[in-house]
Chains A and B, each alone.
Chain A
Amino acid sequence: MFDARVSRRYATALFDAARRANVVRAVEDDLQGVQAVLDGDAKFRSVLMAPVVSAEEKLELLGKLFGDRVTALTMQVLRVMLEKHREPEIAGLYREFSALRRTSEGVTYATVTSATPLTPEQKDAVVARVAGQLGRSVEAQFTVDATVLGGVKVAFDNYVLDGTARGTLRRLRERLRYEVLKQN
């Protein structure tokens, strides 16, 4: 069973070691690659999570897949997690590590949602505008959701900047319902 606290604990140890070795970006790229394989290859994921497969076999598999592609630090962490039977928490390692890195660098992570894919210019404009407003760097993940109808929505920390047509309709609905309630 996945436990985010365990992922955070391993990510914190890994981040501290990577910062001391000055390989934070390289390790993050390694974790992003591992995460992409986990998300994209269901067979690999099922083998990695299977309790009937021994840790040695899983280590051998990981070594063949990532041995010459990731840093030794990343490989060492994966080995330790496998030996401790913490396979489910490997899936949360990248997210927690990136969060630690962003916090360390003072970077805000934002999710930008639009009805259709944004052009590179639009992406840059949105990130630049939000970063200018916040006064710090912004890393954005762009997602497409047709239900927002049009416009763009930016979510970061506990804030949401909703410039979508659906958001406008939602605010209008809330306003009208408030007026209806006020009449009684």
Chain B
Amino acid sequence: MSQEQKSSGSPIPGIVIGIVLMVGGVYLSGLTQESAVIKDLEAKGIPLNPGVTVAAIGVFLMLFPVINLFFIKPLHEAINERNESLERTFAEAESLRSEMETMRGDYERRLAASELAAREQIQSEIKKAQDLRAALTTEATQRADALVSRAQAEIESEKAKVVQELRTHVVDMALAAAEKVIGENMNDERNRRLVEEFVNTVEVVK
């Protein structure tokens, strides 16, 4: 901003000073043309003319505003514009980068959240599957145990039933044999003794 103020200052004093210096230099050149010092320097190979030098400075000071107007100032403005463009570009790039960083962070957070949710869901499903497997295994084991127990009980029951039927059959067979033997060996004497025994021992209990 200060540079702009400097460059935008009035050029008139410089031009006036340049004119003065140019006129003064021309006049001074006339005065010093015959000077011994100048001649001595020319003799030594140093062609120094102070009047010309001052006039040249004056011309330079007069031309400087023109140079400044047509070359330096546009160049300066172009540089400034370029700098501002670059600054804007950098700012936009920085903004985009910041936005991108924000979006990336957001994306990473979402991704992390999604991964976490997915992981939790997977763990939950795994736990459900494990629980279901354990429940099914337990149920199957219980059913198998119950079937085995029932089968064993049925086997024991059938075994006991068969043994009982066998014993009953043995009893029936033994008594049938006894009945046959008694029938074959029964005679009047034995029958008489049975009747007498009945008469002697029978009791009516009411």
Contacts and interface: CB of A to CB of B under 8 A. Distances in A.
A126 B160 contact: no
B182 interface: yes
Contacts of B164: 180-181, 183-184
A152 B192 CA distance: 10
A116 interface: yes
Given A130-B204, A151-B191, A177-B171, A163 B198 contact: yes
B197 A163 contact: yes
Interface size class of B (residues with CB under 8 A): 20 to 34
SS class, residues of chain B in contact with chain A: helix
A85 to B, nearest CB: 43
Contact of B204 (A116, A118, A134): A134
A150 B193 CA distance: 9
B78 to A, nearest CB: 122
B204 A161 contact: yes
Contact of B195 (A118, A176, A177): A118
Contact of A115 (B167, B168, B191, B201): B191
B179 A149 contact: yes
B194 A116 contact: no
Contacts of B190: 150
B175 interface: yes
Interface in B152-206: 160, 163-164, 167-168, 171-172, 175, 178-179, 182-183, 186, 188, 190-192, 194-199, 201-204, 206
Contacts of A95: none
A126 B199 contact: yes
Nearest to A172: B175
A150 B178 CA distance: 13
A32 to B, nearest CB: 27
A23 to B, nearest CB: 33
Contacts of B168: 177, 180
Contact of A152 (B178, B198, B204, B206): B198
A149 B181 CA distance: 10
Interface in A121-163: 122, 125-126, 129-130, 133-134, 149-152, 154, 159, 161, 163
Contacts of A133: 202-204
A159 B88 CA distance: 132
A154 B201 CA distance: 13
A129 B199 contact: yes
A163 B202 contact: yes
B188 A149 contact: no
A109 to B, nearest CB: 15
A96 B30 CA distance: 198
A150 B171 contact: no
Contacts of B197: 151, 163
Contacts of A183: 164, 167
Interface in B135-157: none
Contact of A130 (B172, B179, B202): B202
B116 to A, nearest CB: 67
B199 A169 contact: no
Contacts of B203: 133
14 contacts: A115-B186, A115-B191, A129-B202, A130-B202, A149-B183, A151-B198, A154-B202, A159-B206, A161-B204, A169-B179, A169-B182, A172-B178, A173-B171, A181-B164
Interface of B: 160, 163-164, 167-168, 171-172, 175, 178-179, 182-183, 186, 188, 190-192, 194-199, 201-204, 206
**Closest 6 A/B residue pairs (Cβ):** A163-B198, A151-B194, A133-B204, A180-B167, A176-B171, A150-B191
